[in-house]
Amino acid sequence: MGTRKELLILGLLCVLEKCVSDCPLGFILQRGKCIDNDECVENPDPCGKHTKCFNTNGSFYCQCLEGYKSIGGAVNFTGLSGQCQDVNECHIPNICGDGANCTNVIGSYRCTCHPGYKEDPSFPVGCVDINECTQAETRGEHICGEKGTCKNAIGSYWCKCQKGFTNYGNERTPCSPLDCNNFNADSAPTQSLGGLADILSMMRNSCLALSDPTTASPGKADGEALLEKLFTATDVILSPDHLDSSEDVSGLLETLENSIRVIGPQLKRNYTKIETNKTDAEITVQRGKSRPTGPIHLSNGNASLDTDWLTAAGTGLYPGFAMAALLSYKNLEKSVNSSFEEIPGLQKDGVDPSLQIFSRVVSVVVSNPSTQNLSSPVNITLRHLGKEETSEVSYVCAYWNERGAWSTDGCYQQHSNTTHTVCTCEHLSSFAVLMARYPMKHTFGLILMTKIGLTISLLCLILCILTFKFCRSIQGTRTTIHLHLCICLFMADLIFLAGISQTKPVGGCRFVAAMLHLFFLGVFTWMLLEGVQLYRMVVLVFNVTIRPLYLYLTGYGVPLVILIISAMIRPEGYGTDEHCWLSLNDGLIWSFFGPVCLIIILNVFFFIVTVWKLAQKFTSLNPDLSKLHKIRAFTVTAIAQMCILGLMWVFGAFLFEEGPMVVAYIFTILNSLQGALVFIMHCLLSKQVRDEYAHFLSCICTPQKKRYSDFSSTNPSSSQSQASRSGHNTGESQI
Running DSSP on this structure, what letter comes out for residue 1?
-
Contact criterion met (CB below 8 Å) for 322 and 286: yes
Q: Burial, 458: exposed, middle or buried (Cβ in 10 Å; 0-12, 13-18, 19+)?
A: middle
Q: Please, which residues have CB within 8 angstroms of residue 486's CB and are 6 or more apart in sequence?
A: 461, 464, 465, 468, 675, 678
Give 94's DSSP letter: T
Q: pLDDT at position 123, please?
A: 75
Query: Residue type at 517?
Result: H
> What is d(CA 100, CA 125) in angstroms, rounded to the nearest whole number?
9
- CA–CA dist 111, 128 (Å, integer): 13
Helices (H), 264-319: 309-313
Closest CA to 355 of 344, 363, 370: 344
Residue 357 to residues 212, 409, 410, 552, 666, Cα–Cα distance (Å): 43, 17, 19, 44, 30
Per-residue HEC secondary structure of 610-625 comes to HHHHHHHHHCCCCCCH
Task: Give the CA diameter of the chain.
Answer: 188
Residue 493: the pLDDT is 86
Q: d(Cα 433, Cα 393) in Å, to the nearest integer?
A: 12
Strand, helix or coil for residue 351: strand
Distances (CA, A) of 246 to 252, 418, 427, 572: 10, 29, 21, 16
Q: Could you list the beta-strand ranges (E) of 235-310.
A: 271-275, 279-287, 295-299, 303-308
**Host H or E run for residue 324:** strand 321-329
DSSP track, 109-147: EEEEEPTTEEE-TT-SSSEEE--HHHHHHHHT--TT-TT
Q: Dump pLDDT digits (tens) for 536-591.
A: 776 765 456 788 888 899 999 999 999 999 999 888 889 887 778 888 777 788 88
d(CA 334, CA 63): 85
| Non-local CB neighbours of 532 within 8 Å, separated by 6+ positions | 546, 606
| CA angle, 548 then 551 then 557, to 5° | 130
**C-alpha–C-alpha distance, residues 433 and 461, integer Å:** 48
Per-residue H/E/C for 168-206: CCCCCCCCEECCHHHHCCCCHHHHHCCCHHHHHHHHHHH
Cβ-proximal residues to 186 (8 Å cutoff; 6+ apart), any chain = none
DSSP helix/strand/coil, 272: strand
Q: What is the CA radius of gyration of the chain?
A: 49
Q: Which H or E element spans position 355? A: strand 354-357
Please identify every stretch of the chain with a pLDDT value under 50, giving residue numbers as ranges.
1-3, 6-7, 10, 13-20, 216-219, 542, 621, 628, 651, 705-735
Residues contacting 395, CB < 8 A, separation 6+: 358, 384, 413, 416, 421, 433, 434, 435, 436
**Residue 400: enclosing H or E segment and its boundaries?**
strand 393-400
CA distances from 184 to 17, 210, 641 (A): 110, 16, 64
Residue in 712, 592, 566, 578 with CA at minimum distance from that of residue 649: 592
Within 10 Å of residue 228's Cβ, how many Cβ atoms? 13
Residue 107 · residue 121 · CB < 8 Å: no
Phi-psi domain of 308 (left: phi exceeds 0; alpha: psi -120 through 50; beta: other):
beta
As beta bridge partners, residue 364 has 326
What pLDDT does residue 717 have? 42
CA distance 205 to 18: 101
- Strands (DSSP E) contained in 618-703 are none
Nearby residues of 544 by Cβ (< 8 Å), 6 or more positions away = 477, 533, 536, 537, 734, 735
pTM of the model: 0.55
Sign of CA dihedral 579, 584, 587, 593: positive
CA angle 27, 29, 31 (to 5 degrees): 140
Q: Which of 673, 646, 651 is nearest to 455 (CA)?
A: 673
Which pLDDT score is estimated for 425? 94
**Tens digits of residue pLDDT in 593-629:** 888 888 878 877 777 777 676 666 655 545 555 554 5
- DSSP-based three-state secondary structure for 32: coil
Dihedral through CA 632, CA 533, CA 551, CA 556, nearest 10? -70
